Amino acid sequence: MDQSGLSKPNLSAYLSSQIQNLIRSNDLKPGDRLPSARALAEQFNVATPTIREALRRLQATGLIDIRHGSGIYVRRQSDRLLLSNPGVGALETQTILQVLDARTLIEPHLAGLAAQFATPSEIEALQDLVRQADIAVERTDDSYIRVNYELHAAIARASGNLVLTHIIESLLEMYSTELHLTDPRTGFAVTRARDHFHHHIVVDAIAARDPASATGAMTEHINVARQTVVAQVSAGAPSGKGADTNGTASPL
Amino acid sequence: MDQSGLSKPNLSAYLSSQIQNLIRSNDLKPGDRLPSARALAEQFNVATPTIREALRRLQATGLIDIRHGSGIYVRRQSDRLLLSNPGVGALETQTILQVLDARTLIEPHLAGLAAQFATPSEIEALQDLVRQADIAVERTDDSYIRVNYELHAAIARASGNLVLTHIIESLLEMYSTELHLTDPRTGFAVTRARDHFHHHIVVDAIAARDPASATGAMTEHINVARQTVVAQVSAGAPSGKGADTNGTASPL
DNA sequence: GGAGTGTAAGTGATCTAATCAATTATTGTC
DNA sequence: GACAATAATTGATTAGATCACTTACACTCC
């Protein structure tokens, strides 16, 4: 039943890479559907529980999306070098602050690089995202959160450093959950408008090929966001699953 | 057969977190063995293929280690917020350089923080690691690579920023594979001695509570390592799986 | 007694084949 | 034409059995 000469310990690992190849060679894009689990099992001459393990692995790395009753879909175009751990739940406030510290270190640097190395089409894409944000900032659904993610990710991408880009993408998606929890159309509208204003400045600086301004604006942007979180915390609202209030202010 | 009132779509995801709880509540440490897959299946009242999907997920996130014929072992004490994608194979040289660019941005910063905030016991641990490296640097096995990882990780940890620490750990383990491939006891001995020398300086600066020196020494350390890779590349040795030589020198 | 070998128990890996559950498209009715 | 019932598709889970790898123990032979 196994006609290949190669020994294959860990069939599921082997199958994972085969499915990755399948996605690549068929040029499947995010949203596209893969063959059904049964079809895949037949195609690779394995039983369904086995192909299932391989699919779970790919699901854990964020490459695919499995929807009961519907099918298996491609989630990301290309592989990430780094991922946010899908196993971690809600972040403690202390951790959120450290995420922002990390972003304060990385994103201004990326903004500066983007101002130097972004291609014209990348700059155009950035300006388009700002225009999208002009609209989304007024809406009450979560479209702004999505645009916000796209904007930061696009700036990172325009820097030319893939690794740092993946780091930022992972950090952003890490606490995207938190953002949903925080924002029930409260006084956050003002925060949102302020963020949007900062985005404008950063993108303008990049478009003007002014690294120093881009770096500075991004630093300002994230620092202000961090201060907002600090203010929320000291205002008493205990986020995270609590119980861990051993201070030691996050150093930066 | 299911006595809980809660609906559980995605049993495997639920089981993953249950197994995580099991590890936490039993205080299992790296190297400790979990119950067998059969035992776990019985304990949670599910079939073995189901528990298997949950285990694959935990394996993908690096929390556990599954060894055929032997058992299931804890791999990491605590969860990482970020992981290196287990699905990516060998890195292209271009990517390796970008990893080093990322490290050049992050690790000097962490070294500076460590010089400010490291606890006495953390500094002691760093000095102990340097002593271990004194020995490992002479040996031909891969013990030096392990010590090197531990040293960089320990410096990161001493900074107090968990997120940046996890980023560095992920970056280090990402191309640990590459290091094995590069080093067949060739002229790398000199590289190794030089790295070890730099480590000495960095740790001394941290112990001396001198952030500026620590930052500078770490910058120097990684930059030199980066230049070594660049030299290797221009010397002709094509690493990675090739075919992707569209230059655009990695910006930093 | 010690070194090596062989065997058996434990454990992960995979298979088969069936049933349950959720989604989606279709069809039919009003 | 809108809505509801239904059928087909597809993922989720089960059950028990068999294969393959590791490990430890006992046994043999020197």
Q: Are strands B71-74 and B64-67 parallel, antiparallel or unpaired?
A: antiparallel
pLDDT of residue B249: 40
- Mean pLDDT for all residues in chain B: 86
The structure's pTM equals 0.87
Residue A240 has pLDDT above 60, yes or no: no
- pLDDT > 90 fraction of chain A, expressed in percent and rounded: 66
Q: Which tokens belong to A166?
A: 């993946």
The most confident of the ranges A219-233, B17-31, B136-150, B181-195 is B17-31
Q: In chain B, what residues touch A61 (CB-CB under 8 Å)?
A: 60, 85-87
Least confident of A17-21, A171-175, B14-18: A171-175
| Strand D bases with any atom < 7 A from protein Cβ | 9-17, 20-23
**φ, ψ (nearest 5 deg) of residue B10:** 65, 65
pLDDT of residue B139: 78
- In angstroms, the CA of B141 and the C1' of C3 are apart by 28
Mutate to test the interface with B, among A22, A79, A81 (most CBs of B within 10 A): A81
What is the spatial distance between Cα A1 and Cα A24, in angstroms, rounded to a whole number?
27
One-letter amino acid of A155? I
Hey, which of A170-179, B222-231, B243-252 has the most confident mean pLDDT?
Answer: B222-231
The residue ranking higher by pLDDT, A102 or A232, is A102
pLDDT of residue B77: 84
Can you spell out the DSSP letters for B13-70? HHHHHHHHHHHHHTT--TTPBPPPHHHHHHHTT--HHHHHHHHHHHHHTTSEEEETTT
Buried-state track A107-123, b at ≥16 Cβ within 10 A, e below 16: bbbbbbbbbebbeeebb
| Percent residues over pLDDT 90 in chain B | 66
CA of A92 to C1' of C23 (A): 36
**What mean pLDDT is predicted for residues B77-99?**
89
| Mean pLDDT value across residues B46-56 | 96
Distance A69 CA to D1 C1' (A): 28
Query: Residue A242: left if φ>0, alpha if ψ -120 to 50, beta else—which one?
Result: left
Rounded Cα–Cα distance for residues B136 and B133 (Å): 5
Using the CB atom, is residue A45 less than 7 Å from strand C? Answer: yes
Is A239 within 8 Å of A92 (Cβ atoms)? yes
Say if residue B19's pLDDT is above 90.
yes
Closest-approach nucleotide to residue A55, Cα vs C1': D11
What's the pLDDT tens digit per position in A148-204?
999 999 999 999 999 999 999 999 988 765 554 455 444 466 778 888 999 999 999
For residue B140, the distance in angstroms to the closest alpha carbon of chain A comes to 29
- A19 pLDDT higher than 60: yes
Are A96 and A239 a contacting pair, CB within 8 Å?
Answer: yes
Contacts of A170 in chain B (CB under 8 A): 82
Spatial contact of B172 and B83, defined as CB atoms under 8 Å apart: no
Q: CB-based contact (8 Å) between A156 and chain B?
A: no
Say what the pLDDT of residue A251 is.
Answer: 41
Tokens 């070294």 correspond to what residue? B111
DSSP per-residue string spanning B124-138: HHHHHHHHHHHHHTT
Nucleotides of C under 7 A from a protein CB: 10-18, 21-24
Determine the length of chain A: 252
D4 C1' to A69 CA distance, Å: 20
Strand partners, A84: B82
pLDDT at B152 over 90: yes
Cβ–Cβ below 8 Å for B56 and A61: no
